Structure 1
Amino acid sequence: MRRVAFLIRFALVVAASSGIETALGDPIYVDQGRDWTTAERTDFYKRDQGSRLINLAWLQALKGRDGQPFLSDGMSRYGFLPNPGNTANLPVGFHTTGSGGSQIVGVTCSACHTRQVEVDGKAYRIDGGPAFIDFQAFLSDLDKAVGDATASEAAFAAFAAAVLQSATPTAADVDKLRQRVDAWYRRFHTFVAGTLPAVGWGLGRLDAIGIIFNRISGTDVGPPPDFLIPENMKIGDAPVRYPFLWNSPMQNQTDWAGFVLNGNRVFALARNTGQALAFGNFEPRRSFGPFFNYANSINFDGLKRLEELLLKMGPPKWPSDWPIDSKLAKDGQKIFERQCSKGCHEKKEVRALRDLFVTTWVTPVQNVGTDTRQFDELGWRVKTGALKGAGIPLIARHLEEEDYAVHMMFSAVAGAILDNKLYLGSDVGSGDGFGSSLPPNAQKAPSTSLSLSPAPVKASIAPPSSAQPPNQPESLTIEPGTLLERTLNRGEYEARVLEGIWAAAPYLHNGSVATLAELLVPPAKRMSQFKVGAKYDIKNVGLDVTQEGPTRPVTDCNDLNSGNSRCGHDYGTRLSDDEKKALLEYLKTL
């Protein structure tokens, strides 16, 4: 574990020199359409969606690995971007809710979907783009910081003095605070130990499916006082690159595997509710008979506003001070229409799934030979705990005592939305964040209930072979017997409309190919590793592989289930060099 901690720390130090931070001065905001104004951007950076992570006073009192205040650099060491409008030194994508000493810090989607790249010593900001952040290091360090603060009476005394803003707080106040912090830490530490892999996800990637599944099934549906089912949590070893957001409302389906229906307001709300549950409070309980209460902290007004913002966010336009050959781009357009558009990346409008009054773009879901690891998580089976028997006729099937985590997610999302629509008064308070909304005394557990020592590592991102794990089906039927029923096949992922694709490197769903030029190379000849960071290569369209920064090793087609395979999408690889140059030039214009 010490070696892992050292490697993570070393990666952070290297990442700090990769152009992520703002030493370049104020960024140049890339043109994303006339509807995307400064007001819209400011709102996007701080909009409360219902995430409740940790008490602000606690976060301000914590120390980082270097002994400095956790917020001393605005968390830029993880790649988060400064937000000048935030008075608490929180970066883009973090907000506070509440007042006084009860303010709670939450995470919004802009934390992971705001990108900044560097070209010729200038920084360019791309809203809705995949961020260059190390979210795993952030979670790991936050866990360690709270663990250090509670490791001894002396350490906690210093922490309590800072939180309570008193050099000599009363013993009663310190004891009360200790109960609250211990309750939060039991849950958060169990989640971190059960979710984070030994080998980090790295800059610009996150296992969102693993996080959401572990939150819902592992931290929210167990027995009191902590509501944990630790054995439900599995190591999140299928990281993917953050998707870009600027045309997400127009997709017919979303998520890399295309298993989330999209296109109308209800489906959009469900899409956003799922991501809000990742760090929100969720307290489902059977109310009476077959009925359930899906109490939660989700800010549905905030989610509605978020969708309005996404509808205004246009794809980023290639900056005017970057060179582009218009004539060559026109030649590339013909190649694109012949090689890439039909059946895959064309902007083809259709009536939205299950809604004849909405038009969306087709997003085909198909297997093009890319990494299969994420499908393993869609096959996770868990104990359903407090959600046993939950379900909504025609929408979410009733859950068995043991069921698929993906079905639990659909039940949680559908139930939370239904509670909100029916005004059942199921909102829960913030508490101290991370699901600890109940009064501290109600969560106080015996000291023997859970060991706070780090859990043994269960897996790494790269398993020893590409063999399919045992008991993993080749296909999975989602929500059988309901109006939302559909089948997922192993290795199938969605093909999106490519507007703004120049700004979304690295490529493939797992971020295993550094540039668009490299994507046009046969899979067997693609780079086996490359540098990750904010410096951009506008010639090859993607990451500058020569920059200083952490290295991302990737596997070939012999290890297709590693989570890091660069295999697949063998399209355009047989074009001539001149044709490839023309195609790349056209992709810059999208």
Structure 2
Amino acid sequence: MLRKSSRPLSLACFGAVSLLALVVATPSIAEVKFASQGAQWTPESRNDFYTRDQGARIIPFAWFKALKRADGSGFLDDGLARYGYLPNPDSPTPGLPVGFLTASENNVRTLSMTCSACHVRQIDVDGVSWRVDGGPALTDFQSLLADIDWAVDHVLKDATAFDDFGKAVGAQSEEARRELRDDVQAWFAPYHALMSKALPAPGWGVGRADAVSMIFNRVAGLDIGEPPTRINRDNIAPADAPVRYPFVWKAPVQDITQWPGFARNGDDILGLARNVGEVYGVFGVYRPTKSILPNVINYLNDSSLNYAGLQRLEILLKQIEPPKWPWALDAALVAKGDEIFHRDPKDGGCAKGCHEIKTGAARVCNPDTWRTPIQDVGTDSKEYTVLGREAETGVLEGASIAFVPGIDKPLKPKDKIITILGLSVIGSILEAPLHFGLDVFRPIVEECLPIKPATPAALRAALLEKLRKALGDLYKKPGEAPPIAYESRVMKGIWAVAPYLHNGSVPTLADLLKPASERPASFKVGRAYDIENVGLAKEQPGLNSTYTADDCAKRGSGNSRCGHEFGVKLAPDEKKALLEYLKSL
């Protein structure tokens, strides 16, 4: 049982989606095969990726097992399959799917999640399910979060439900039940504050997320308010700028990341920054406190971040290669498509200036990055507008890091949330060598400091200098990039990541080669795959949701299918050849 002194756990890692219907069906039983993703991607690596702790802390596991959904079923009765999560027979905790685990927090066994929950996908073709590690998940995360919210609220409001719940978690005496109620109420207050204000309607549905909004909501809305609650409801906004989960193979070498391209990337230090921000968005505990010194913050007070786990996950990401197309290819068509792909974009090509492999900006610990162009190709604008949000700075007011551009000036009482996040992430990383010791930074030390300094003090100083150099200007601020500009990724493995465009508004690659006005206005999102048109099949017999796409008149809706009209004038035989080449990448 939790004690009253235990900190409330909290959350975010979300996305919004404009959906008219959500269908939950029992997935058909199919043979599971794993896509070929390189010699380094072994079963051992895969199992590690599925269950490696990164510091996320959702809810005490005993509570989660005891809670009931509105239909009376338990959350683990189906291993979370109703939300699209994939079974993991090798899980150390039987019944938990891919991406979920248990971890100890304040001596309490706690439900946790790791990055594979959002970045492993399965696609179904002719009775075979193909597992693609690092691919964008086809899950309905909002329904899981909303169901937890309903279940805990029901327990607190219904005496019979609370009595059954208390017995299930071992609270037998009256005193134990009173303590349990206090603990549940303390946990529920921040969780419900976030869910009630941030979850949009219509719901997120299958396969999309507004992670940026929810990271902002979590840090500004639940973490930096004044103690003891730390909640600032005014800092929470609807997460209604939906995007597709990205694929993460080759992500460590991109010089820029996030769909709007606002985060520097490309080496282990920047990878750590990317992942610290992600954990703060997905249930990581972040409770910064003011020091006795003016405007000095203890960023890692009571923190749940698992630095060793985060760095291990980054190593695993480097091992995941793009998935190989598992079916037959027409070599002649591939060759013809190769020529088309490398044409100038005005002639229907894809590579030049957009999707080519080209050397990017050198980073402190890695001179060999991939260039990630950030440009406006007429696609939906809404996610970019999220970056301009402001919030009350709470306990971080007046804080700064003098040597880091962008956060070298004291935070105002109300400031850009992206600046608040940058300060939180960079402050947490710079404090970590003193808080956790140098051993947790061994991968970064090995990458950035090939000649090890002679003393621990010299090693710490050298590491801190590398951290300072790498983390400077971590996030671009709104207005420093062209408006409505998004990243252009290298296309390797693109066949396995439908639906397309950053907001998932186009179901197949074949549809993407059509003018926006001819793309489907409505389609189902689920696991069934069309390998001819390369993307989502029209019929989705298992878990699915219906995506209703807006036209170009509603470019800012979050759901517009507008933009990226490249290759639309190619002849039908050229489009067929280009698709065959894209399958081969």
Q: 1:97 corresponds to which letter in structure 2?
A: A
State yes or no: 1:376 paired with 2:398. no
Give the CA deviation at 1:9.
12
Q: Hey, what does 2:238 align to over in structure 1?
A: 235
Give the CA deviation at 1:291.
1.3
Give the CA deviation at 1:415.
1.1
Aligned-partner Cα distance in 1 for 2:385–2:433 = 34
State yes or no: 1:561 paired with 2:556. yes
Q: CA distance change for structure 1 residues 97 and 545 in 2, over 3 Å: closer, same or farther? A: same
Q: Hey, what does 1:574 align to over in structure 2?
A: 569
Identity of aligned residues (%): 47
- In structure 2, runs of 5+ residues without a counterpart are 1-16, 344-348, 438-470
1:209-262 Cα shifts (integer Å, max 9, x gaps) = 111000000001112221100011000001110000111011010000111100
Quick check: 1:57–1:101 contact (8 Å CA) kept in 2?
Answer: no
Match of 2:519 among 514, 523, 526: 526
Q: Hey, what does 2:370 align to over in structure 1?
A: 361
1:380-400 Cα shifts (integer Å, max 9, x gaps) = 111010111222123233311
Match of 1:317 among 324, 331, 335: 324
State yes or no: 1:343 paired with 2:350. no
State yes or no: 1:280 paired with 2:248. no
State yes or no: 1:157 paired with 2:138. no
Give the CA deviation at 1:490.
2.2
Quick check: 1:291–1:390 contact (8 Å CA) kept in 2?
Answer: yes
1:276-327 Cα shifts (integer Å, max 9, x gaps) = 11110001111122311012211000000000000100000001xx232111
Q: CA RMSD in A?
A: 2.0
Q: 1:580 corresponds to which letter in structure 2?
A: K
Q: 1:104 corresponds to which letter in structure 2?
A: T
State yes or no: 1:515 paired with 2:508. yes
Which is further off, 282-291 or 175-184? 282-291
Aligned-partner Cα distance in 2 for 1:545–1:331 = 28
Q: Hey, what does 1:389 align to over in structure 2?
A: 398
1:511-556 Cα shifts (integer Å, max 9, x gaps) = 0000000000011111101111100000000000233432110001
Give the CA deviation at 1:184.
0.6
TM-score (ref. length: structure 2): 0.86
Aligned-partner Cα distance in 1 for 2:243–2:429 = 27
Give the CA deviation at 1:482.
5.9
Quick check: 2:264–2:475 contact (8 Å CA) kept in 1?
Answer: no
Quick check: 1:15–1:533 contact (8 Å CA) kept in 2?
Answer: no
Give the CA deviation at 1:351.
4.1
State yes or no: 1:269 paired with 2:276. no
Match of 1:204 among 203, 207, 215: 207
Q: 1:528 corresponds to which letter in structure 2?
A: A
Q: Hey, what does 2:338 align to over in structure 1?
A: 333
State yes or no: 1:96 paired with 2:102. yes
Q: 2:432 corresponds to which letter in structure 1?
A: N
Which is further off, 357-366 or 392-401? 392-401
Quick check: 1:394–1:483 contact (8 Å CA) kept in 2?
Answer: no
Counterpart secondary structure, 1:125: strand
Aligned-partner Cα distance in 2 for 1:491–1:155 = 48
* Superposition pairs of residues 253-268 of structure 1, within 5 angstroms: 253-268=256-271
State yes or no: 1:139 paired with 2:139. no
Q: Hey, what does 1:50 align to over in structure 2?
A: 55
Aligned-partner Cα distance in 2 for 1:44–1:394 = 35
State yes or no: 1:543 paired with 2:539. no
Aligned-partner Cα distance in 1 for 2:365–2:275 = 22
Which is further off, 148-157 or 34-43? 148-157
Q: 2:225 corresponds to which letter in structure 1?
A: G
Q: Hey, what does 1:589 align to over in structure 2?
A: 584
Aligned-partner Cα distance in 2 for 1:181–1:367 = 47
Q: Hey, what does 2:248 align to over in structure 1?
A: 245
Q: Hey, what does 1:430 align to over in structure 2?
A: none
TM-score (ref. length: structure 1): 0.85
Quick check: 2:140–2:206 contact (8 Å CA) kept in 1?
Answer: yes
State yes or no: 1:110 paired with 2:120. no
1:176-227 Cα shifts (integer Å, max 9, x gaps) = 1111100011110001011100111110001101110000000011122211
Match of 1:179 among 179, 182, 185: 182
State yes or no: 1:422 paired with 2:434. yes
Aligned-partner Cα distance in 1 for 2:509–2:24 = 23
Aligned-partner Cα distance in 1 for 2:584–2:403 = 43
Quick check: 1:8–1:137 contact (8 Å CA) kept in 2?
Answer: no
Counterpart secondary structure, 1:550: strand
Aligned-partner Cα distance in 2 for 1:37–1:162 = 39
1:28-56 Cα shifts (integer Å, max 9, x gaps) = 00000000000000000001000011000
Q: 2:320 corresponds to which letter in structure 1?
A: M
State yes or no: 1:121 paired with 2:116. no
Quick check: 2:267–2:365 contact (8 Å CA) kept in 1?
Answer: no
Q: Hey, what does 1:84 align to over in structure 2?
A: 89
Aligned-partner Cα distance in 2 for 1:9–1:574 = 31
* Superposition pairs of residues 477-488 of structure 1, within 5 angstroms: 483-484=473-474, 486=476, 487-488=480-481
* Superposition pairs of residues 442-521 of structure 1, within 5 angstroms: 483-484=473-474, 486=476, 487-521=480-514
Quick check: 1:47–1:302 contact (8 Å CA) kept in 2?
Answer: yes
Give the CA deviation at 1:350.
3.1
Aligned-partner Cα distance in 2 for 1:234–1:9 = 19
Paired residues in the alignment total 518
Give the CA deviation at 1:421.
2.2
State yes or no: 1:299 paired with 2:315. no
Counterpart secondary structure, 2:41: coil
Q: 2:311 corresponds to which letter in structure 1?
A: K
- In structure 1, runs of 5+ residues without a counterpart are 1-6, 426-480
